[in-house]
Amino acid sequence: MQKWTLQRRNSQGLFVQVATFDRPISQQEVESEFGPGYYVLRSTKPRFQTTWKAQLGKADHSESLVNNHQLAIQKLQRNEKILGLGIGVTGAVEAISLPLIHFRFVKLEGQIAEVKAALGTLSAAHLQCPNCGSRLVFLLQPNCRICKAPLIWPKEAQQLQPKASEFQG
């Protein structure tokens, strides 16, 4: 048995059911019985199908403005909640990851300090001070022991280019 449902847009802009009928009802009957407003009549069996939809009577302009403003405010509030959740999740991720990153860098700094300490104890008999030419005692020595000039170590190792005659084996 076919049924028709009449829906009306409420103050939040959502459709709410007003009445259910056993026969299709005309727009004039709806306006006289339920008053002016935006209505939709839908048949419900076997699937929902719109029979008609219309603005009945004179639309109250101030009411539609209020509805539009309320809809805009609701959308903004929904976006505010989503953005707030995103900021909260971002803060939680940073609160978890930053200590882990700091721990990793502290560990690397410790390893570099160990390597520097080990290199500082190795003999540097073949290295000379670029200022006075005296032999250095240890690798990574900060100053020359004779002339007290600061020793600046290169940041990158110099790559030796093979000679062309070495390729012609």
Indicate the pTM of the whole model: 0.37
Q: For residue 167, tell me if it sits in a domain.
A: no
| Domain assignment of residue 90, yes or no | no
Which of the four pLDDT bands, split at 50, 70 and 90, describes residue 87?
very high
Q: What pLDDT does residue 133 have? A: 84
Strand ranges of the sheet holding 15-21, from the earlier edge strand across to the other edge: 15-21, 4-9, 37-43, 49-56
Tell me: the pLDDT tens digits for 29-86? Answer: 998 898 888 889 999 888 889 999 888 877 655 556 666 777 788 889 999 999 999 9
Looking at the domain assignment, is residue 27 inside a domain? yes
Would 18 be classed as within a structural domain?
yes
Give the per-residue pLDDT at 63. 58
Once rounded to an integer, what is the mean pLDDT over residues 105-110?
Answer: 92
The pLDDT mean for the chain works out to: 82
CA 113 – CA 155 distance, rounded (Å): 16
Could you list the residue range(s) of the whole structural domain that residue 30 is in?
Answer: 4-59
Q: In total, how many domains does the chain have?
A: 1
Question: Is 31 part of any domain?
Answer: yes
Amino acid, single-letter form, for residue 147: C
Residue 41 lies in a domain: yes
